Amino acid sequence: MSRAVLVDLTRCMGCRACQVACKAWNDNPGELTQCLGCYDNPPHLSADTWSLIQFNEVEWGGKLHWVFAKRQCMHCEHPGCVSACPVRALQKLESGPVVYESRKCIGCRYCMMACPFWVPKFEWDTPVPYIRKCTFCLDRVEEGLEPACVKACPTDALTFGGRDYLIKEAHRRINARPHKYYGHIYGDHEIGGTSWLYISPVPFDKLGFPDLDTQPVTEWSEIAILATPSVIVGAVALLSGTYWLTKHHSEKQAEESGAPGKEEE
């Protein structure tokens, strides 16, 4: 059964307990950050920060809303990062998580370009860099535990369970209190669906969530990967032909001017 997390943004109070729990469980160090005119700290996901609370001040429906949005890897149902990886360092498990094997990674960073949520991060400041992102706490889930962030949430803004059940629960909450929720479940159908699902009091575009089609991004990345070998062959042929024409032209000019094409040995 595919597992997922439902994030109810009407319940999140921005305490960052999930953010701290993620760092603690994964032994990720703190980061030296700067104030950039917002409450987000650090300001972006990074190789050392896999879970982040973003603070949003939104005017909607004649009201001012403070909305705290948890961001991390979405663990897509049809992940572009997996289809873009030429060595299968990233894989999608039937249980939900998108997992990464550093021993297979060649550092091409195709996954970073293929992700529509800009999640995978590269360890730019280490001698042997790898890709880093949320693991869905696979080690905990395999032992029957909740992800660390879900366990730490004091307001039940995060609910862990079967994906199908959580989609039904999200619909139930929206239908029960339509005045409280914006009528859309983000992640239900976006790019073929994700394992992190969101319900919110305001439209998701106002929170910086990308407006994505229902078509899985894998359909595009797979085309790109399949085209890569032919592109390389074509580039080599083009460069070889250019070199031959240039060399032939130079030799012909040398013959016409009476100078040798190359020095005698």
The domain locations on the chain are 3-78+133-216
CB-based contact 85:49 (threshold 8 Å)? no
Give the pLDDT of residue 239: 57
CB-based contact 201:182 (threshold 8 Å)? yes
237 by DSSP, 3-state: which?
helix
Give the pLDDT of residue 205: 97
Q: How far apart are the first and last CA of the chain?
A: 74
CA distance 113 to 229: 18
Give the pLDDT of residue 171: 98
pTM over 0.85: no
**Virtual CA dihedral for 67, 15, 148, 51, nearest 10 degrees?**
60
CB-based contact 46:121 (threshold 8 Å)? yes
C-alpha closest to that of 67 among 213, 186, 168, 149: 186
DSSP string, 146-199: PPHHHHH-TT--EEEEEHHHHHHHHHHHHHH-TTTS-S--BTSSGGG-BSEEEE
Mean pLDDT by 10 residues, the chain (265 residues): 95 97 96 78 93 95 94 97 96 96 95 96 93 97 97 98 98 97 98 98 97 82 52 51 57 61 45
The CATH number assigned to the domain with range 3-78+133-216 reads 3.30.70.20
243-249: long-range contacts, CB 8 A cutoff, minimum separation 24: none
Give the pLDDT of residue 222: 54
Give the pLDDT of residue 176: 98
Residue 157 has which token pair? 């803004």
Give the pLDDT of residue 226: 53
Give the pLDDT of residue 223: 53
Residue 28 CB burial class (10 angstroms; 0-12, 13-18, ≥19) = middle
Looking from the CA of 87 toward its CB, the CA atoms found within 13 Å total 12
Instruction: Give the torsion sign (CA, 212, 65, 30, 138).
Output: negative
C-alpha closest to that of 79 among 117, 115, 104: 115
Q: How do 158-162 and 196-199 pair as beta strands?
A: unpaired
